[in-house]
Chains A and B, each alone.
Chain A
């Protein structure tokens, strides 16, 4: 589903990704683990199409289509979802209006029928319950005054609403308490299916107690330096990242 080959990406003059290759087939959950500054967020933002991340070499395809040629909204309409590490507060933009506008923009781009107001309301209420977000929060401006945990719940709510085919989760676990971690696990496990893939980016093994990954990759100095099964996450928790930083 997602195929990245020899990806080099820079921010300004600094090259952050230095030949990253990764293959995430449909139906699988892959975890990318790495220390601070290894390029985890650069990877997620580059895949989502952020302007200030410049791809200088390599390729990334989504179902065989060149991802790097597409605008962020086109990538979104293809089914790519990024759960942000630091979700935005958008004052003045009503939460439900924003999510519905976005959902229907994606649907229009795919040539699908727009979701009716009634169907949307029903769906958003059910998803709010799933992610443990009080319904009154949905009536507020987007993320304004939300705690860090509530913002992550809002990310999961959108992931559940949009039903993307490729979910990039950029340190979704950062700043979450145990209940919220479990909620993230519940959402991912509910969405897991043969036609959907997840790339879970994290520092720690703890989220992987709730989301069993099919593969674990170690990212250090802009490259995948080791890949393995779920046991690799536990090994990292024991031994740390130092060996990989030195090797990189």
Chain B
């Protein structure tokens, strides 16, 4: 057996390397990418921004009671009138029909601007995939149907995907990305260019197997008066991290991003985000809600970086955690870094248990303890879910939440 390229690899890293070397017909570019990855390996707790989500160590092994669930067999939105794109085992299936205003293509990854160059998992992603799914929405087009990108995992092989979305000037699109099934290591990198006065609404739903390890990173450039909205919901995994980086590169761009995580067993969810303001008059609202029971762990790291030209930035961040057991964890790190002097920026974070007074009140009215707890938890997460405009998405999100509450 050849010598490992990695220095003191962990079990997860060795597994990834073995799977990489076992692949047929590895291109030179992929080998180069893996060699770059091997120099650093998976990010560990000593890397800033990763100390609560140590990918080199992998996730914690679930006990029998919390093992399994959430296979890829149940297709979310099967009944909904969405444009469906399926990514399974690295293969991309796009719909045959023409969609007015939308161009879909699979292109060499090298053709893209390198949005993730400095990301510690970019090289690994490039080692496992050399192509990119590109969605181009024509200027002025208002896509009627939401586009559903379904990431269906397929077992022990590490997999990687790369998606790029281009929303032309004044165009509007809704994209839903779902992560389902069991994936030993799944890397999904997504980038977007949202042109002037264009709107992208992006929903992400992570409902996967307790042994999955998932890393998703999404980066978007927002131009003049561009808007990005959306909601992400995760039930975690052995290790699940969803990163969002939004660059408001021009003025008057706006973002409204919401996320919720519900974790149990030894599941781990990490929502990490950076909103960078480079132009004036931008506005951002960010809300995160994390609920953890058993030994579940929720991580939230959110940062607003306001550069000197970004005067009149109005940015508010709120992240709250609900801990339902003594062993549950929440690690929150809200951050502001501001170089402009005329801005309104704020962040807030709170962590606590369910309100005992409210529980007693509800039980006095006839609800049993489980019902009262479920109603309060649903209310806590409701802030994030209630405003979802697409009915099918709202229903699916509620079903995931109800299923999670039903297991308590």
Contacts and interface: CB of A to CB of B under 8 A. Distances in A.
A248 interface: no
A51 B371 CA distance: 17
B368 interface: yes
A92 B375 CA distance: 9
Contacts of B379: 90-93, 141
A90 B376 contact: yes
Q: In the complex, which of the residues B362, B371, B372 has the most CB atoms of chain A within 10 Å of its own CB atom?
A: B362
A78 to B, nearest CB: 10
B368 A73 contact: yes
Interface in A48-78: 48-51, 71-73, 75-77
B371 A101 contact: yes
Nearest to B357: A88
Contacts of B358: 88, 90
B346 interface: no
B367 A105 contact: yes
Given A90-B358, A90-B361, A92-B383, A103 B375 contact: no
B383 A102 contact: no
B93 to A, nearest CB: 39
Given A90-B358, A93-B375, A102 B367 contact: yes
A133 to B, nearest CB: 17
A81 B366 CA distance: 9
Contact of B369 (A73, A92, A106): A73
B361 A88 contact: yes
B366 A98 contact: no
Given A88-B357, A88-B361, A93-B376, A105 B383 contact: no
A194 to B, nearest CB: 24
Contacts of B375: 93, 98, 101
A98 B383 contact: no
A84 B367 contact: no
A205 interface: no
A73 B380 contact: no
B119 interface: no
B364 A77 contact: no
B380 A92 contact: yes
Contacts of A99: 365
A141 B383 CA distance: 12
A73 B376 contact: no
Contacts of A51: 356, 360
A160 interface: no
Interface string A99-132: 1011101100100000000000000000000000
A76 B378 CA distance: 23
Contacts of A76: 363-366
Nearest to B382: A92
B366 A105 contact: yes
Interface in B226-282: none
Interface in B366-397: 366-369, 371-372, 375-376, 378-380, 382-383
A77 B356 CA distance: 20
Q: Size band of the B side of the interface?
A: 20 to 34
A184 interface: no
A42 interface: no
A159 to B, nearest CB: 11
Contacts of A71: 363, 368-369
A158 interface: yes
A169 interface: no
Nearest to B360: A50
A158 to B, nearest CB: 7
A192 to B, nearest CB: 22
Given A88-B358, A90-B358, A101-B371, A72 B364 contact: yes
Interface string B341-369: 00000000000000111101111111111
Nearest to A87: B361
A18 B371 CA distance: 34
Contacts of A101: 367, 371, 375
Q: In the complex, which of the residues B357, B366, B371 has the most CB atoms of chain A within 10 Å of its own CB atom?
A: B366
B262 to A, nearest CB: 15
B383 A106 contact: no
A82 interface: yes
A58 to B, nearest CB: 21
Nearest to A77: B366
Contacts of B371: 101, 105
A46 to B, nearest CB: 12
Contacts of A109: 366
Nearest to A92: B379
Contact of A102 (B357, B362, B380): B362
Nearest to A76: B366
Given A91-B379, A98-B375, A82 B364 contact: yes
Interface of A: 48-51, 71-73, 75-77, 81-82, 84, 87-88, 90-93, 98-99, 101-103, 105-106, 109, 141, 158, 162
10 contacts: A50-B360, A77-B366, A88-B355, A88-B358, A92-B382, A93-B379, A102-B366, A102-B367, A162-B365, A162-B366
Given A49-B363, A73-B369, A91-B379, 8 more contacts: A50-B360, A71-B369, A72-B360, A73-B364, A73-B368, A90-B379, A98-B375, A102-B362
Interface of B: 355-358, 360-369, 371-372, 375-376, 378-380, 382-383
